[in-house]
Amino acid sequence: MNEPGLEKDDFSQVSDARQKCVQNSDSLLLESSKRGYDSYMKEKILPIELPIVQTFLSHAYSLAILQNTISYKGWFFTNYMQLYTYYNRKNPLGDYKIDFFSCKGKYPDVPFFEYYKINKEIFVEMKNDIVEFSIQMLDKEYYIESGIDEFYWPNKKSYNQKHYHHDNLIFGYNLTNRVFYYLGYDKNMVFGKYSVDFASYTDSFIYNKDSNLRMIKSYNRELFDADSRYIYHDNLDFDIRKFAQYLSDYINSKNSFISHTGSDFSIFGINVYYDIMEKIILDRNIGKDMRLYRLLWEHKVIMLHRLKYLSDVQIISNKDTLCEEFSKLEREFFIVKNMAIKFLVNNNLDLLQSILKKIDTLARADKELCEKLLLSLS
């Protein structure tokens, strides 16, 4: 029986490709000893951090690579202030989400990377080896965002249950243990650093018609070299004017998009809270979407880190007072997130009403604190 998503004519090609991948991965250790340390290291791990934003992988993987680098903070804290709602026009209620603003649309525009993308068909036609190719890319300092079928990954919730195309960030390998290291969610939906064996990685790529790899290379260090080819890049310092505009837009629920207007029904800033409440009243199943609550909480965590940064670079002087108030707000949103987890389990409508009331109260508190911050910038 053919694998889902594979045409009969393609199956023999895929099987041949998988056999080659497995044979090649079996020989990697032997090749390593023949070619020496410079050809294939026994282990390679690229720098990676658990990101401050984990709700959506489009943010998480980029930030995991950048976090704690020298040019990261000015850009990050200038941005990641505004929120907006996004709808799938074909299914507005069934695919409703909130996200951090990006001037290029619903996916973040990160100014520190070069990207190269390649799909499965190229590997099949070229009879390439996905394991060896991935190792070569990692040796060249490329991170790999691997779009694969998690049906084949033992540590995934979908393992042997359902076919599920999803992205995971490969950041290293170990030839002795025959594994790749990756960043993503495990079977318990806990975001972290894990490993997948070469054979499972091969199957997840080969037996999925939509598989693709996106190689990501950070040129962060080059940005500060005098002879860098990126010398005309955007200003990487904190942009107080730009941030003040985003903060004002957030407070006043204004559309911050420049070249992209979002969906026809997008809501911005503080009004996102009220839009969430309205949508939950229309469809209580939306109230079970943990991403909504987690992202609101992450927004407040970022604000706390931003306040410390603004104090460190001497942009604000009343950090302690603002931090104390925003800390209380962050803790309240953490409580809301935990309340939502309970609602997801027990479906208690009284609990849902309590969540809605709390969001309403916190929306007003958030607006007042952001107004104080905006005043401190002037």
Q: Greatest CA span in the chain, whole angstroms?
A: 68
Domain that holds residue 145: 8-48+112-223
**179 shares a domain with 80:** no
171: helix, strand or coil: strand
Query: For the segment 123-174, what is each residue's pLDDT rounded down to a tens digit?
Result: 777 667 889 999 999 999 999 999 999 999 999 999 999 999 999 999 999 9
Q: Residue 297's pLDDT is what?
A: 98
Give the Cα separation of 150 and 227 in Å (integer).
43
Q: Kindly state whether residue 56 falls inside one of the protein's structural domains.
A: no
Contact at 8 Å (CB) between 184 and 191? yes
Do 276 and 175 fall within a single domain? no
Are 272 and 150 members of one domain? no
74 token code pair: 């000015």
Q: Between the CA atoms of 34, 38, 39 and 41, what dihedral angle is there, to the nearest 10 degrees?
A: 90
Look at residue 97 and tell me if it is in a domain: yes
pLDDT digits (tens, 9 = 90+) for 32-49: 334 333 457 799 999 999
Residue 29 and residue 175 in one domain: yes
In this predicted structure, the answer to whether residue 29 has a pLDDT above a threshold of 60 is no
pLDDT above 90 as % of the chain: 60
Tokens linked to 80 = 């990641």
pLDDT value, residue 329: 97
Last residue of a domain, one of 168, 192, 223: 223
Asked if residue 209 belongs to a domain, the reply is yes
Residues 326 and 214 in one domain: no
Supply the pLDDT for residue 20.
54
Residue 261 and residue 106: Cα distance in Å, rounded? 10
Q: How confident is the model at residue 320 (pLDDT cuts 50, 70, 90)?
A: confident
* Residue 63 maps to a domain: no
Q: What is the pLDDT of residues 162-176, one digit of tens each?
A: 999 999 999 999 999
Average pLDDT, the chain: 84
C-alpha 291/C-alpha 55 separation (Å) is 6
- Among 372, 291, 286, 288, CA closest to 329: 372
- The domain boundary, picked from 223, 253, 279, lies at 223
**Neighbouring residues of 159: CB distance < 8 A, sequence distance ≥ 6:** 150, 151, 152, 153, 187
Residue 247 covered by a domain: yes
pLDDT at position 263 = 62
Domain presence at residue 67? no
Is 233 inside a domain boundary? no
Same domain for 247 and 100:
yes
Q: What is the DSSP string of 270-291?
A: THHHHHHHHHHHH-GGGGG-HH
Sign of the CA dihedral 200, 206, 210, 213?
Answer: positive
What is the percentage of the chain residues whose pLDDT exceeds 70?
79
- Kindly state whether residues 294 and 215 are assigned to the same domain: no
Of 157, 190, 223, which one is at a domain's C-terminal end? Answer: 223
Domain count, the chain: 2
For the CA atoms of 195, 200, 202, 205, the dihedral, rounded to the nearest 10 degrees, stands at -90
Are 212 and 120 in contact by the 8 Å Cβ rule? The answer is yes
Band (115; pLDDT cuts 50, 70, 90)? confident
Instruction: Assess contact for 377 and 319: CB atoms under 8 A.
Output: no
Overall size of the chain counted in residues: 378
**Do residues 42 and 97 share a domain?**
no
Phi-psi region of 178 (alpha: psi -120 to 50; beta: other; left: phi over 0): left
Residue 103 in this model has a pLDDT that exceeds 80: no
d(CA 235, CA 237): 6
**Does one domain contain both 250 and 336?**
yes
Same domain, 91 and 121: no
**Domain co-membership, 366 together with 287:** yes
Q: Are residues 101 and 124 in the same domain?
A: no
- Residue 329: inside a domain: yes
d(CA 44, CA 180): 9
Q: Of 139-153, 181-195, 216-230, give the lowest mean pLDDT range.
A: 216-230
pLDDT reading at 213 higher than 70: yes
**Does position 30 have pLDDT exceeding 50, yes or no?**
no
Q: How far is CA 59 from the centre of its chain?
A: 3
Each residue's pLDDT tens digit, 40-83: 779 999 999 999 999 999 999 999 998 867 678 888 999 999 99
Q: How far apart are CA 212 and CA 32, in angstroms?
A: 26
